[in-house]
Amino acid sequence: MKKLMAANWKMYKTGAEAVATLNELAELLKGTAPEGREIVIFAPFTALERASGAMEAIKGGMIGAEDVYPAAEGAFTGEISPAMIKACGASWVLTGHSERRHVIGESEDFVGEKTAFALANGLRVMLCIGETLEERESGLLRNVLERQLKLGLKNVPAETPVEALAIAYEPVWAIGTGKTATTDDIVETHAICRELMREILGEKADKTPLLYGGSVKPANAGSILALDNVDGVLVGGASLKADSFTQIINA
């Protein structure tokens, strides 16, 4: 399984800025992802089409959207459908990111609706899961992950190809805070995630990438990627600059 090196640009970068960053990334990578690695950039909706064009310069690179609405079309002001995302040249979408859950207020059931609908409509989905510090300190880690995975993967079409789904574990308390889970924390939690994935996905679980996210930087990416059950990383702030993201991709 190739390591999946993912970037979440969040509410940063205009279309022009996205193109400039991807052009620099292409130059630094000499036009191709390193052997054994795939790259996906989750870009803002307004930059998707231009980013998709620029990503053509990187072999093994893909573009994704940061969100999706579970309907083909309709009176959903401000939302975007899978067909709209694909028409922009993107092939991936994020669902369940902690900022959608905790800032925007999306429910577990709604995350599951998005995940299933996006997969049924030909997008590859990276489902994000993770606990708050309060939940971890209260001994609820496994309960939270089990609930998020079961509801997030509820109604996923049985015919979904294994390569269409990835899971990203991000401890909420380590996103954008500068704090990173210890290697022991990551190994322990990813083992729990994989066990739960096997219960839900069966034999597909071991072929489904399980990524770590949460203050991933050039300095710690290599040690994180070397851990058991870590099939890639989801990078926030450190992915906004081509040079730092290149260091992570090559870690």
User: pLDDT tens across 45-94, in order?
Assistant: 999 999 999 999 999 999 999 999 999 999 999 999 999 999 999 999 99
Query: How many domains does the chain divide into?
Result: 1
DSSP helix/strand/coil, 144: helix
| Per-chain mean pLDDT for the chain | 96
Predicted confidence (pLDDT) at residue 176 exceeds the cutoff of 90: no
pTM of the model: 0.96
pLDDT at 174: 80
CATH code: domain of residue 221: 3.20.20.70
Question: Rounded mean pLDDT of 160-174?
Answer: 93
* H-only helix segments in the chain: 15-28, 48-55, 82-87, 98-102, 108-120, 133-137, 141-152, 183-201, 218-225, 242-249
Q: Identify the DSSP state of 164.
A: G
Cα–Cα dist 242/14, whole Å: 15
More confident residue, 176 or 164: 164
pLDDT at 228: 93
Lowest mean pLDDT among 67-71, 131-135, 194-198: 131-135
Structural domain of 94: 3-249
pLDDT at 157: 86
Predicted confidence (pLDDT) at residue 180 exceeds the cutoff of 90: no
Counted residue by residue, the chain has a size of: 251
DSSP string, 47-105: GHHHHHHHHTTSBTEEEEES---SSSSSS-TT---HHHHHHTT--EEEES-HHHHHTS-
User: pLDDT tens across 224-249, in order?
Assistant: 999 999 999 999 999 999 999 999 99
Predicted confidence (pLDDT) at residue 170 exceeds the cutoff of 90: yes
Identify the burial level of 78 via C-beta atoms within 10 angstroms of its C-beta, where 0-12 means exposed, 13-18 middle and 19 or more buried.
Answer: exposed
Return the CA Rg of the chain: 17
pLDDT at 129: 98
pLDDT at 203: 92
User: In 3D, which of 128, 11, 126 has the Cα closest to residue 62?
Assistant: 126
Catalytic residue list contains 170 = yes
Catalytic residue among 38, 66, 99, 170: 170
User: pLDDT tens across 6-37, in order?
Assistant: 999 999 999 999 999 999 999 999 999 999 99
Predicted confidence (pLDDT) at residue 143 exceeds the cutoff of 80: yes
Catalytic residue among 97, 99, 113, 146: 97
